[in-house]
Structure formats: structure tokens, C-alpha cells
Amino acid sequence: MKEKILIIGACGQIGVELTLALRKIYGGENVIASDIRDEHPLLAGTGPYTTLNANDADNTRAIVKKEGITQIYLLAALLSATGEKDPKLCWDLNMGSLRQVLDLAVEMKDERKIKIFWPSSIAVFGATTPRQNTPQLTVMEPTTMYGVTKYAGELLCQYYNRRYGTDVRSVRYPGLISWKSVPGGGTTDYAVDIYIQALKAGKYECFLSENTYLPMMYMDDAIRATIELMQAPVENLKTHMAFNLSAMSFSPKEVYESIKKIISNFEITYAPDHRQAIADSWPASIDDSTARAEWNWKPKFDLEKMTTAMLENLKK
């Protein structure tokens, strides 16, 4: 069957690169990018773009019907740090948009099957979760509103799958590191800023302490994971909560040292702020053996490889 894809939140950190990657596979005209913001410059001219508020159920339904959409990637969300500034908006946006897309898939079930991708996060875990090699199935008591919406969202996805047979797939992304589009409002954002500031200013003040280990992933791996999960045969997928996903784990000090190997006069200082408590409640490393077993997930980038790629690409 010919795929017709709608991306909601296409101008964010994941959205830009995912839209470009999906357009390469399925053809530019078959991937409709949408966001509440203006079109991202990197998307311009690569395929159709429309303005869409992720919480606007009527407009979403109209696009899905008119365009014959078969896959929806719902990426619009408020992240961990921004979510703490406005917990109500975080809940309303993150849960409202998911609920209406799931309902739309149920509503259209007899007409057309719609496959959904919705991202979860390491933020579903909390201080009572085992921090090292956090298992797929474990204690989950998130402390941020962002984490609460991701955990509740996972449960909602699993519920819709069991109750209505909705094909909705999800991963718990670690901190994502990219150079084409930057993150906004996350706790792991330092790991992107540090590369940008290393090149721009030769120094960086980090908002997390030097030995704060967090799970991280280069965007190329994250995009490949997303597409491989969406292409996996449905009968292989036994897990209907989001999959743990892992590539590397490092501290600010370690990423600093990997950059210093290339930019020898790079300097770092540490000034932990309110985001430190969020980072301290998250896992340091993740066990992703379920993803490896069910859909053959395997990362390609480690810290050294990513540092080389980030600095080379940002320089351009």
C-alpha cells in the first residue's frame, strides 16, 4: 500500500530530521509536514507544509481525511524543563494531542488503518527506578510533568492497542544530540549547546554538574530507530509500552574531554541549576535488550564518533 504520512510538530529537533528522512524514503509529496510554527528553513521546498495546532482535532481530522493519511508521527510536546514552567500547558498539549490522534485512528478504523508513532522518553523514570541499566519493565514514578505525561501517554497507547487494536508505536528516547535543528526546553540540551559553544566561544558553562551521567543518542541513530520500529512487522512487536532505547551514556566532563581532543583550548565551568534535580531523577544508563530482541535495534554512534560528526557538521 502507498504510504501517506502526516508529521505533527515537524519543525522541532526530531521533526526536521525525521521529515527529511521520511521524504527520502516515501517521496517528498507523500510526507506532509505540519507545525504551529513557521516552516523550518531546512524543510522549505522538500515537500508540502501546513500550519497545524497539535490540539486542533477538527483540522487534524480534515487533513487526515483529505490526504488519505496512513501514518501519523506526533512529535509536538513541551519538554522537561519548559514543562515545569507551565505544568498545565504541558499536560494539555502532550496528552490532548495524543488522545485526539488515538481517537482519530479508532474513528477511521473501518475506512483505513492508521499507524501512529508517538515518542516517549527516559523522563518516564524517577528517583525510585534503578539508575544503572534501567530495565524495560521497572518502577516508574516520574517527578516532572513531562515525565508524567509520557508515562500516562504510554499507558494510553497500550490501552488503545489492547482495546481497539490501534497500531501505535513508541520509544523512550534518551537525550538527543543533533546539529541540523536544536532542542528547546530539555534537561539534556547541554549536550547540544556544548558543541555549539565549543566552536563559537571556545568555552561553555554547563547547567549540570560534571559527573551527571545520562543516556544519550546521536540524532542519526534516533531517526533510524524510529523508522526501523515503524517498518517492523506488527506481529514481531509484543511490547506495547514504549521501548527502552540506548546508544551511549556520558557525563558533561566526558563530553568535554572528547571535544578537547579536537579543540585543545576548549574550557568548561559548571553551574548546576534547577535542571540538576531533574537529571538526578533520571537513569544513568538504559537496558534496551527488548528493542534489540523484538525489532533488531542496534546503535551505530558512540561518543567519539558523535563528537567528530557534530564538530565537522557544525563547522560547515
Catalytic residue among 49, 73, 146, 256: 146
Contacts (Cβ under 8 Å, ≥6 apart) of 56: none
Distance separating alpha carbons of residues 122 and 167, to the nearest angstrom: 22
Does position 9 interact with ligand SER (CB under 6 A)? The reply is no
For residue 242, the minimal CB distance to ligand SER (Å) is 11
Which strand (E) or helix (H) includes residue 7? strand 5-8
Does position 186 interact with ligand SER (CB under 6 A)? The reply is yes
Does position 216 interact with ligand SER (CB under 6 A)? The reply is no
For residue 223, the minimal CB distance to ligand SER (Å) is 15
Does position 121 interact with ligand SER (CB under 6 A)? The reply is yes
Quote the longest CA-to-CA distance of the chain: 62
Residues 45-104 that bind ligand SER (CB under 6 A): 79-80
Active site residue 146: yes
Q: Are 180 and 16 in contact (CB under 8 A)?
A: yes
Distance separating alpha carbons of residues 58 and 62, to the nearest angstrom: 6
Q: Which is nearer to ligand SER, 79 or 303 (CB)?
A: 79
Q: Which is nearer to ligand SER, 49 or 207 (CB)?
A: 207
For 77, which DSSP code? -
Q: Are 303 and 254 in contact (CB under 8 A)?
A: yes
HSE value, Cβ hemisphere, 13 Å, CA-based, for 191: 29
For residue 195, the minimal CB distance to ligand SER (Å) is 15
Q: Which is nearer to ligand SER, 204 or 207 (CB)?
A: 207
Catalytically active residues are 146
- Residue numbers at the binding site for ligand SER (CB under 6 A): 79-80, 121-123, 146, 173, 175, 186-188
